[in-house]
Structure 1
Amino acid sequence: MPQTARPVSKKEIRQENERLILEAAEKTFAEAGFGGATMQLIADVAGLPKANLHYYFPTKEALYRQVVQNIFQDWLKAADVFDAAPGPVEGIGAYIDAKLEISRRHPAGSKVWASEVMHRAPVIQDYLETTLVEWTEGRMAVIRRWIDEGQMDEVDPRHLLYMLWATTQHYADFGHQIETLNGGAPLSADQWEEVKASVKTIILKGIGAL
């Protein structure tokens, strides 16, 4: 007897709809910006009725904030290695790997964040002043401890973090430029591994950790 398909639960339908909406919103906000994106356009990209978007996210700002929060949560998870790492080689090295992998797999999200900040964060300034400030101060303290332990050179932890962000997110924010310089093709899996190795070597040698 052939097995009948298991009925899809309401929870699974809701999760799938939310996934489709958030993926479509991330792509649309990256391409059109907050001002240029509309709920109808996002619904069209998601392949769902506009009413579905308003059911899950009552306003465009609520949807935008969720997209930005998801992006930042991914970056927070990427930095989990900082707190437990014995030193900068392990901690910063793993952070670079994780951030570059996010740029590889979720380039639209990075572009949304960059566009928002370049426009002086009109929607998420409160998020920057709280969550981002707290996260940055915590990571700076870890870097300062590594410096005090003699595991790396005396550098300004804040500027080191800025450099890490700029370098890793460049591969998402300027993906078209990189593809153009790569003969018009996206970086291959092997090339991404070369990027990770090169960035880690340059940064870790530059701060005296290697």
Structure 2
Amino acid sequence: MTLLDTEKSIAEKSKTATTKVNRRLINRDKLETEILEQAVRLFAECGYEGTSIATIAEQVGLSKQNLLYYFPSKPVLYQRVLDDVLNVWLERMNSLADDSREPEELLRSYIVAKLQFSREQPWGSRVYAMEVIGGAKIYGADIRKKVVPLLRKDIEIFEKWIAQGKIAAVNPTHLLFAIWAMTQSYADFATQMNLVMNRKQLSRKDFDDAEKLIVDMVLAGLAITPATK
């Protein structure tokens, strides 16, 4: 074998090894996603205490020991589920602090994003709601640490708008509470909505109608004349 042949052989082996590593990483990411999808649904349906690692593993098609390779305990998995939910919400809250955009545009996009999360990831919203309703015994410290700083930033933006005469003088904290309640209810209380409307699930039109109503109510409450429709 020539030196060139040897170099080619080494390069091919290296490429093969790299491909195998990439495949393992892809498979790992895919499996983690499947675990999290089943975990968030079961935590939402059964609560933290009513959900077991064994049940989640069974739904994914893994043994309990194999699942524990990816998430070493139920608290770790529960923490990850709530982290994923809260990270999305924090991203939305952070977008409100962009003072380069006008209040109407920011509030409209914020409400749309919150409703979109309720429509696309209702299980995540319900897990978070159940944790909070239960007193946030497991995740309370994370909520204080992560939510409070962004809430204060958003309040400062609202106060700035009030001082500039861009919106009516309102209590920014309770305004945000009201927006959270209105948008998140379309995930957390979807079952009740479906029961009273005699249907199996909320439609896209329901969310579109909710978006228009909530946006109109918030803008009217802040004395903002809509520039867009």
With the shorter chain as reference, the TM-score category is over 0.9
1:93 to 108, 122, 142: 108
The one-letter code sitting in structure 1 at the alignment partner of 2:113 is: A
Q: 5+ residue gaps in structure 2?
A: 1-18
The answer to whether 1:163 aligns with 2:196 is: no
- Give the C-alpha shift of residue 179 in structure 1: 1.3
Structure 1 match to 2:200: 185
- Give the C-alpha shift of residue 39 in structure 1: 0.1
SS in 2 for 1:34: coil
Aligned residue pairs, count: 205
The one-letter code sitting in structure 2 at the alignment partner of 1:78 is: R
The equivalences for 1:68-83 within 5 A come to 68-83=82-97
Structure 2 match to 1:124: 139
Cα displacement string for residues 127-166 of structure 1 (whole angstroms, at most 9, x for unaligned residues): 0221111121111111111111111111111101110111
TM-score (norm 2): 0.85
Q: 5+ residue gaps in structure 1?
A: 1-5
Supply the distance in 2 between the matched residues of 1:163 and 1:117 (Cα, whole angstroms).
16
Q: Is the 8 A contact 1:87 1:146 kept in 2?
A: no
User: Percent identity of the aligned residues?
Assistant: 33
Q: Is the 8 A contact 2:93 2:151 kept in 1?
A: no
Q: Is the 8 A contact 1:24 1:45 kept in 2?
A: yes
Q: Is the 8 A contact 1:43 1:49 kept in 2?
A: yes
Cα displacement string for residues 74-117 of structure 1 (whole angstroms, at most 9, x for unaligned residues): 11222343122522211111100000000001111111111111
SS in 2 for 1:155: coil
The answer to whether 1:18 aligns with 2:32 is: yes
Structure 1 match to 2:120: 105
The one-letter code sitting in structure 1 at the alignment partner of 2:143 is: L
Q: Is the 8 A contact 2:93 2:150 kept in 1?
A: no
RMSD after superposition: 1.6
- Give the C-alpha shift of residue 70 in structure 1: 0.3
Supply the distance in 1 between the matched residues of 2:122 and 2:45 (Cα, whole angstroms).
11
The one-letter code sitting in structure 2 at the alignment partner of 1:58 is: P
The one-letter code sitting in structure 2 at the alignment partner of 1:16 is: K
Supply the distance in 1 between the matched residues of 2:131 and 2:220 (Cα, whole angstroms).
32
